[in-house]
Structure 1
Amino acid sequence: MTRQPAASKSPLTKRDFEALSDFRYQLRRFLRFSEDAAQSEGLTVQQYLLMLHIRGCAGKDWASIGELAERLQAKQHGVVALVNRCEAAGLVKRKANPDDRRIVEVHLMAKGERFLNRLAMLHRSELESLRGTFRVARLTAFNDDGAERA
């Protein structure tokens, strides 16, 4: 679960609202790009994200259902349904973990790798094009070192 920052007693300024608005706008533009890119490949953004999180799992080439649920910020049963659809499409496969049979490993298949590589390249290019515009402005409720103001 993500940690909630303590609420500041300082009122937000117009600049704070502008910074928050700009951040949300840039974030939404990137997410819209991602949705469109996945759709152009015949995938949903959730399918792309599932494959991305499998490939991006630190220290191994698979991810568990629980890890994927955390990364996708989704319920486990929803992730199971997503894995079912991806498995039926030939994008991923499940394997029982040899050390702990309670853990289901989700691995990318060659077809999933091909889709993921194409989409990840597009996403990297889009992020590079946003460099300098996709930023988080410091809100006035925080000092320059990031510490909350009294």
Structure 2
Amino acid sequence: MASQRGSIEKQQFEALSDFRFRLRSFLRFSEDAARAEGITVLQYQLMLHTQGFPGREWATISEIAERLQAQHHGVVALVSRCEEAGLVRRKPSHADRRQVEVHLLAAGRRKLERLAMLHADQVAELAEVVALVSKAGA
């Protein structure tokens, strides 16, 4: 990250600045795309995380809280709003009754698929920027 002299070079600042700009642009795109679907970006992320675990198509509230870096009680409220919107459904876990599984419903799946398709090009562009920043040593 630092040069031999122990300081950051101009090229590294430029790369970091570009990365932060592109990252914020991606996040803004995601917010706008979710809003166009009639949901919040957090609702989109919740639905995405229900599908993000290998070998299953649900996630626990605790797992979603971890992925969102949010408090458990805040995620419970978010799940409630998603349930009211007909996007997800809660089920008690068969393996551990203390756990609550969040399952995507058909309406949620349709919104998630549309949004994921819209995000594909944006993610590819962001990946290119990350590769460039890594090469710059930033």
For the criterion TM > 0.5, the same-fold answer is yes
For the 8 Å contact 1:69–1:76, the answer to whether it is kept is yes
Partner of 1:65: 61
Structure 1 stretches of 4+ with a deviation exceeding 4 A read none
Equivalent residues in 2 for 1:79-94, closer than 5 Å: 79-94=75-90
> Quick one: distance in 1 between partners of 2:86 and 2:107?
7
Partner of 1:49: 45
> Quick one: distance in 2 between partners of 1:103 and 1:140?
43
Partner of 2:105: 109
Partner of 2:74: 78
Paired letter, 2:43 = Q
Aligned residues: CA RMSD: 1.9
**Deviations for 1:33-80, whole angstroms, at most 9, x for unmatched residues?**
101100001110000000001011222111001110111111111111
Paired letter, 2:78 = L
Partner of 1:18: 14
1:37 is matched with which residue: 33, 36, 39?
Answer: 33
> Quick one: distance in 1 between partners of 2:84 and 2:6?
52
Greater helix share, structure number: 2
Partner of 1:148: none
SS where residue 89 of structure 2 aligns?
strand
Paired letter, 1:57 = F
Identity percentage of aligned residues? 59
Runs of 5+ in structure 2 lacking a partner?
none
> Quick one: distance in 2 between partners of 1:129 and 1:99?
40
Runs of 5+ in structure 1 lacking a partner?
1-8, 142-150
**Deviations for 1:94-142, whole angstroms, at most 9, x for unmatched residues?**
000112100100000111001001111101133345564454423557x
